[in-house]
Structure 1
Amino acid sequence: MELTEDIARNFARIALGHVTRPYPYKDDHVFESDQDVRAPRMAHPVFFGSFDWHSCVHGWWTLLTLRRQYPGMAEAVPIEALADETFTDAKLAVELAYLDRPMSRGFERPYGWSWLLYLHLEAERHDDREWSVRLEPLALAFAARLCDYLRILTYPITVGTHFNTAFALILARRWALGRDEAMVTLIDAWAERAFGNRADYRGWEPGGDEFLSPVLTAALLMTETRSKRTFAPWFRALVIANGWLENECRPALVSDRTDGKIAHLDGLNLSRAWCLRIIADALDDEGTQKALMLLADEHLDATLPHVAGNYMGEHWLTSFAVLALLVPKQI
């Protein structure tokens, strides 16, 4: 399975339809006084759509990634025009100023932070536009916050939702490579302390509202911080030797796609596929590699037909579908 132009065009139309859709909107905002009462667009003139701030950020990542993959598609033109109109110095200055609020310390931590870094990384690949230059101050602010956060985060957060530490570090580390080696070193050391001695995974997965696999996101992080020589035996001891991968890692059933939390399980299928495809490439056994790729395809088959259809999933699922479909091409 791969990202074809037809799929890319469909996903682009979906994302164009929600990154500027102001309502419904779930605001991650701590009110300090009556003066804080405002429409979301006043505080977030760039990322006010897509139901919530973080989904709008990775909706934009989706649009820019699709524009780069298929620059000749008809949807590339409205993507460019909308990005030029949206990523302005004035609007991004308002987003940056929001972080100065005393109660904004935990705003979108760490999920939204890492997606903003990933968006900036993607914007840099569009050298015919000034998008990355304009996004850079916001990216640097979140990178600094993430480094400070890691220095006080004693334990990894291993849930399958937005607070998952490993997922955030995967995206952040990719942003930092070749740019901030101190940040890469900090992430690598933190990941090794948190996950390096883990084995025999027996987590009760999936949870009813998860869109990330706690164990597979940790494993994906370790593919990027370890060599193949040390990763492969670690992964075997984690989920293969005990039968978890074979017996437990099956596509999640989504009973109600109109329920925003239950709809998260479609994201779990897509993010598992993304993890499994990359992990397969990091292994040294051809039979296991093939098994992981087949398992990834099972997860994709379970959810790709349902990316569109209900706004509870539609406003964010395309991002995870793009992540999965661009592997092993990498992004």
Structure 2
Amino acid sequence: MDDSRLSPELAGRFAAIALGHVRREYPNRLEQTLSGPGDLRPPSELHPVFHGSYDWHSCVHSYWMLARLLRRFPDSPEAPAIRALFDAQLVPAKVEAERAYLAAPAARGFKRPYGWAWLLKLSEELGRHGERRWAAAVEPLAEVFAGRFRDFLPIATYAVRVGTHFNTAFGLRMAVDYAEAAGDAALSVLLRGTAERWYGADADCPAWGEPGGDDFLSSALVEAECMRRLLPPERFLPWFGRFLPRLAEGEPAPLFRPAVVADRGDGKIAHLDGLNLSRAWCWRSLAAALPPGDPRRARTEEAARGHLAASLPHIADDYMGEHWLATFAVLALEAERA
């Protein structure tokens, strides 16, 4: 089996994993500001669609992964179960309850920007399916989060460069796929303008502090992937040369070394498997953007292979990783299709 590509066998394995947890209500890590005792309700009441997978955002991107796998392998053994799940869950009444949760004033910053971006990615992926009712059901929720990007980005003076959910480059990178698919030119312009405002002058990135002990994103590489996606090639390549000027020499060295994961039962340490997989995604996407024969291309491709090999075998070692890592494996394996 070629584990550098999304084979039917790997797709089936990942689908089975996600089908096993997207409706698993407990354990559950809620992100909620309580405004009164009436807010204390079970996860499945608060989030009728996205109450599984340990937390809301992991459930959302697990649905994205299932939608992606269904489109790529529509005749797989797991496809009927995915369709049945979507038919039961992606329905207007349940989506409206999710939207009502977001209407509370205390939910203004709920899952910003990571969950926002993944919900938009889910909407974009569902829109690629011939079965339109799933996309139509989710679209009102996507409109809420697109609106939140429109409201938030003009007042966000500074980028957030951490390697966790708050990373703003990741949010922009994923949101632009939705904006383009939806034909929302104004949102696309806002996302691109924000990326240039936050990152356009960045140069000679040292990758200092990478990896952090609970990173699942590389601050340096996800910024580069954000700019690859949001800038035209003639502007991205000069920017990339300034941002990582010693890439052909394998520098900054920390970006080329897969993270060591000491305890996969520790939820924060398990993030480092996600770091390896998300780095593989970024490295592969960046390699594809480089001209043939560019010495940086071989370096980035080798780095992608090393990071993928380090964590792909450990997707289901423990539920702390199992509830989300397959999504990032699919991102890495499907990088050239993004």
**The two structures share one fold, judged by TM-score above 0.5:** yes
State the match for 1:212 in structure 2.
217
Structure 1 CA distance for aligned equivalents of residues 251 and 133 of structure 2: 44
Write out the 4+ residue segments of structure 1 that deviate beyond 3 Å after TM superposition.
Answer: 242-246
Q: How big is the alpha-carbon RMSD for the aligned residues of Structure 1 and Structure 2?
A: 1.2
| Residue 236 of structure 2: aligned partner | 231
Q: Which consecutive unaligned segments of at least 5 residues does structure 2 have?
A: none
- Counterpart code for 1:217: V
On the 8 A contact 2:250/2:299 being kept in 1, the answer is no
Q: Does 1:197 align with 2:205?
A: no
The 8 Å contact of residues 26 and 51 in structure 1, kept in 2 or not, is answered as yes
Look up the match of 1:292.
300
* Contact 1:231-1:283 within 8 A present in 2 as well: no
Aligned counterparts, 1:63-212, within 5 A:
63-178=66-181, 179-202=183-206, 203-212=208-217
Give how far 1:280 is off. 1.1
Report the Cα offset of residue 228 of structure 1. Answer: 2.4
Q: Contact 2:246 / 2:252 at 8 angstroms: preserved in 1?
A: no
Q: What TM-score do the two structures reach when normalised by structure 1? A: 0.97
What letter is aligned with 2:254?
Answer: E
- My pick for the range that moved more, 57-66 or 125-134, is 125-134
1:245, 1:322 → 2: CA distance?
A: 27
| 1:281 paired residue number | 288
- Is contact 1:240–1:246 with CA below 8 Å preserved after alignment? no
Amino acid at match of 1:82: L
Task: Describe the superposition over 1:32-64 as per-residue Cα deviations: whole angstroms up to 9, x where unpaired.
Answer: 111111111111000000000000000101111
- What is the identity, as a one-letter code, of the residue corresponding to 1:189? G
C-alpha distance in 1, partners of 2:252/2:40? 51
**Counterpart of 1:320?**
328
Matching residue of 2:246: 241
Q: CA deviation at 1:232?
A: 2.1
Which whole-Å CA distance do the structure 2 matches of 1:299 and 1:62 have between them?
20
Structure 1 residue 235, shift from structure 2 partner: 1.6
Q: Is the 8 A contact 2:65 2:327 kept in 1?
A: yes
Q: CA deviation at 1:227?
A: 2.6
1:12 match: 15
Aligned to 2:259: 252
For 1:100 and 1:225, locate their aligned partners in 2 and report how far apart those are by CA, in whole Å: 30
Q: Secondary structure in 1 aligned to 2:262?
A: coil
One-letter identity of the residue aligned with 1:240: P
Structure 1 residue 239: Cα displacement? 2.1
State the distance in 2 between where 1:170 and 1:273 align. 16
- Give the total of aligned pairs: 330
Distance 2:274 2:251 in 1: 18
Identity of aligned residues (%): 48
Unaligned runs of 5+ in 1: none
Judge conservation of contact 2:173–2:230 (CA < 8 Å) in 1.
no
Deviation digits for residues 90-136 of structure 1 (CA, Å, limit 9, x no counterpart): 11110001111010001111100110000011111112241000000
Q: Distance in 1 between matches of 2:111 and 2:176?
A: 18
1:276 deviates by 0.8
Distance in 1 (CA, whole Å) between partners of 2:326 and 2:52 is: 15
Q: Does 1:309 align with 2:317?
A: yes
Structure-2 separation of matches of 1:64 and 1:227: 28
User: Contact 1:231–1:282 at 8 Å: present in 2 too?
Assistant: no
Task: Tell whether the 8 Å contact from 1:255 to 1:262 is kept in structure 2 after alignment.
Answer: yes
TM-score, with normalisation over the residues of structure 2? 0.95
The one-letter code matched in structure 2 to 1:207 is G
Partner of 2:268: 261
AA matched with 1:224: R
Partners of 2:81 and 2:232 lie apart in 1 by 42
